[in-house]
Amino acid sequence: MTQTYNADAIEVLTGLEPVRRRPGMYTDTTRPNHLGQEVIDNSVDEALAGHAKRVDVILHADQSLEVIDDGRGMPVDIHPEEGVPAVELILCRLHAGGKFSNKNYQFSGGLHGVGISVVNALSKRVEVNVRRDGQVYNIAFENGEKVQDLQVVGTCGKRNTGTSVHFWPDETFFDSPRFSVSRLTHVLKAKAVLCPGVEITFKDEINNTEQRWCYQDGLNDYLAEAVNGLPTLPEKPFIGNFAGDTEAVDWGATVAAGRR
> Each residue of 184-202: pLDDT tens digit?
999 999 999 989 999 999 9
Nearest C-alpha neighbor of 189 from the set 219, 228, 168, 166 = 219
Q: What is the pLDDT of residues 34-93, one digit of tens each?
A: 999 999 999 999 999 999 999 999 999 999 999 999 999 999 999 988 899 999 999 998
Chain centroid offset of residue 134 CA? 24
Q: Does residue 168 sit within a domain? A: yes
Q: Are residues 250 and 167 in the same domain?
A: no
Entry pTM: 0.85
145 and 228 both lie in a single domain? no
In a domain, 101, yes or no: yes
The answer to whether residues 177 and 237 belong to one domain is: no
252 Cβ neighbours under 8 A, 6+ residues apart: 219, 220, 222, 223, 237, 238, 239, 240
- Return the half-sphere exposure (C-beta side, CA atoms, 13 A cut-off) of residue 197: 7
Calpha distance 189→257 (Å, rounded) = 25
CB-CB contact of 71 with 51 (8 Å): yes
Residue 200 lies in a domain: yes
Q: How many domains does the chain have?
A: 2
Same domain, 250 and 151: no
Domain match, 245 and 185 both? no
Enclosing domain of residue 209: 17-213
Are the CB atoms for 163 and 40 separated by under 8 Å?
no
Residues 150 and 192 in one domain: yes
- Asked if 90 and 74 touch (Cβ cutoff 8 Å), the reply is yes
The answer as to whether 225 is a domain residue is: yes
Instruction: Residue count of the chain, please give it.
Output: 260
